[in-house]
Amino acid sequence: MRKALVTGGCGFIGSWIVKRLRERNVEVRVLAYPGEPRDNLEGVVCEFFEGDVRDPEVCEKAVDGCDTVFHAAAVYESWTRDPTRMYDVNMRGTFHIIEASRRKGVEKVIYTASIVSLGRPVPGTLANEHTAFEAWEIDFPYARSKYLSRELAEYFAAWGVDVRIVCPGVVIGPNDIRPTPSGELIRTSMTMKGPAITFAGGASYVDVRDAAEGHVLVALRGKPGERYIITAHNLSNTEFVQLVERTTGRNRPIITLPIPIARAVVSGFEVQSHVTGKAPFISKAFFEYSLKPAYFSNEKARRELGMNFRPIEESIRDAAEWFRSRGMV
């Protein structure tokens, strides 16, 4: 790698990809959305190019002269009144960036998918890179848009373009500037009064810095057309809440709600959100999706990429300290 483009390079995962590339002395161009905050890249030497991934002309100019493209730009929301923009950015943006890369002779494209673009496993087992998406009964626009955009990326791979797929777990850690829905869970847990509430189910988590390192290792050691799950910690929802409480020093009592009661509470959040326009603490789609534990194996990433992962306590602590330093708590 000599020169790389990172779309979404000002964002959560993207900014850490930029930093990991710069540590290896790779020249980096960042495709930033007009007006997007650049705080995450303060002091990082890189070139900025403003534009929208939905514009094919912008994409062609952005990839020109780069040998590697990291396509991390996406809309990540657990709830929205209208998911049109999410589908548009996640799918149209993916098509335009990879097609522009093909036309300009880019050597390889590293596409950021997600574990939600794959399937949840049979309870008691771990999903892997080949587990088929199955959550069709849940109207979860983010999961569907990432599944469909991953399919788009893999069509290009089937046609001979060197596209490699990264599927990070639920990403947490410092520099969650927006914050993402996963970061918001930590941030809100640090400020909510009363007992901590949890429910059945679980998810797979990874530190944002490890996720970024995984992207770079896929570029260096991965294979064209392959998927790589980059995740580290499979935790029940209760275990995750316990870790957040303990790591942030709150230690509130934890109440696990029966599923019917939890579903009623979450539905109430959703109704309120449609009135206020503000995202709920937990969306109905995210709740229903996570009731079936989404646990994943990282064996392929460890074996083929040489991945190592930091303790989740470190990720939660660093995220909490970053939120405090920004006055977000």
In this structure, are residues 323 and 186 in contact, taking their beta carbons and an 8 Å threshold?
yes
- The domain segmentation of the chain, as residue ranges, is 3-173+204-233+295-311
Q: How far is CA 79 from the centre of its chain?
A: 15
Helix (H) or strand (E) holding 233: strand 233-236
From first to last of the 329 residues of the chain, give the pLDDT tens digit: 999 999 999 999 999 999 999 999 999 999 999 999 999 999 999 999 999 999 999 999 999 999 999 999 999 988 888 999 999 999 999 999 999 999 999 999 999 999 999 999 999 999 999 999 999 999 999 999 999 999 999 999 999 999 999 999 999 999 999 898 889 889 988 888 889 989 999 999 999 999 999 999 999 999 999 999 999 999 999 999 999 999 998 889 999 999 999 999 999 988 999 889 888 888 899 999 999 999 999 999 999 999 999 999 999 999 999 999 999 88
- The rounded distance, in Å, linking the Cα atoms of 8 and 26 is 17
For residues 76-85, b (16+ Cβ closer than 10 Å) or e, as one string? bbbbbeebee
Distances (CA, A) of 208 to 122, 149, 166, 168, 180: 27, 21, 13, 9, 12
Q: Which residues contact 122 (CB under 8 A, 6 or more apart)?
A: none
pLDDT per residue as tens digits for the range 101-139: 999 999 999 999 999 999 999 999 999 999 999 999 999
Q: How far is CA 86 from the centre of its chain?
A: 14
- The rounded distance, in Å, linking the Cα atoms of 80 and 251 is 32
- The rounded distance, in Å, linking the Cα atoms of 252 and 152 is 45
Task: Provide the greatest CA pair distance for the chain.
Answer: 57
Q: Which residues contact 154 (CB under 8 A, 6 or more apart)?
A: 163, 165, 225
- The rounded distance, in Å, linking the Cα atoms of 8 and 63 is 13
Instruction: Specify the CATH number for 3-173+204-233+295-311; select among 3.40.50.720, 1.10.3260.10, 3.10.129.10, 3.40.50.9100.
Output: 3.40.50.720
In this structure, are residues 173 and 133 in contact, taking their beta carbons and an 8 Å threshold?
no
168 has which bridge partners?
Answer: 230
Helix (H) or strand (E) holding 68: strand 68-71
On the question of a cis peptide bond just before residue 179, with omega within 30 degrees of 0, the verdict is: yes
SS3 for 39?
Answer: helix
